[in-house]
Amino acid sequence: MIRLYNINNHQIFNRFYNINRLYSTTTAIPNKSLRLTIIGAPGSGKGTQSAKLQRDYGVSPISTGQILREAAEEPSDFGKLIKEKVSNGDLISNDIMLQIIQKSLLQTKNGWLLDGYPRTPDQAHHLDTLLQERNIPLDLVLYLDVPEHVLSERIQDRWVHPRSGRVYHSVFSPPKVSGIDDVTGEPLIRRSDDKDQEVFKHRIDTFKESTFPLLKYYKEKGLLYSIDSPTSDLGYIKIKQVVDTIIANK
């Protein structure tokens, strides 16, 4: 079992993300900004819904999965460790994830949407502590509840633009030109962890094991809103209703 967090790996992480800037930055996030996190298994449509929320509400998506995939491409010991974890569908250590989140949150001024974090009650507790210290508590936790057989079907037709993290689906949200990113004209790819069904099943099992206690945690706090619509368009109608209500009451 590879350990991601020890003295040497921490130093590598600091160099890669320039974590020292966290402690000198004075950027503040307006308290009335919309702050939410979106939870869902691989293939549940988190990227699609995040893009719609960014378009309609101006929130900045913070995708921990995209950040980790970028880190995995770095020619460093840290990159190699992350790449192995991502390829196997394993969870990343709490310490590293929280440092990634801190950096992203402090650089965001107009509200944000966390995609892929937290994944456990322990991570949620640490995130709550961080947000309370800065007087920017979560407004909403969205859970995209999609059956496993639907997830498996969706994942087979998913394509991504590796540099931006934009996600397409051959049926539900295809690019204007097959295999080409709408914005840059660059080629789309399939993620390595989407191609392998065994890895995908492991990712789903890991998600279930860690996420169900997390949903209970947020339900008890009154923040959880579950979306079980069969399509992303119908799901977004429900999401928009609850987000509009939250904004109206801020």
Neighbouring CB atoms inside 10 A of 18's CB total 9
| 3-class DSSP state of 39 | strand
Q: Which two tokens stand for residue 210?
A: 């860690």
Residue 229 falls in which region: left (phi positive, over 0), alpha (psi -120 to 50) or beta: beta
Quickly list DSSP for 165-184.
--EEETTTB--SBTTB-TTT
Query: What separation in angstroms does the CA of 92 have from each of 95, 123, 239?
Result: 9, 11, 28
| 3-class DSSP state of 38 | strand
What residues act catalytically? Answer: 46, 119, 158, 191, 203
Using CA atoms, how far apart are residues 110 and 70, in angstroms rounded to an integer? 24
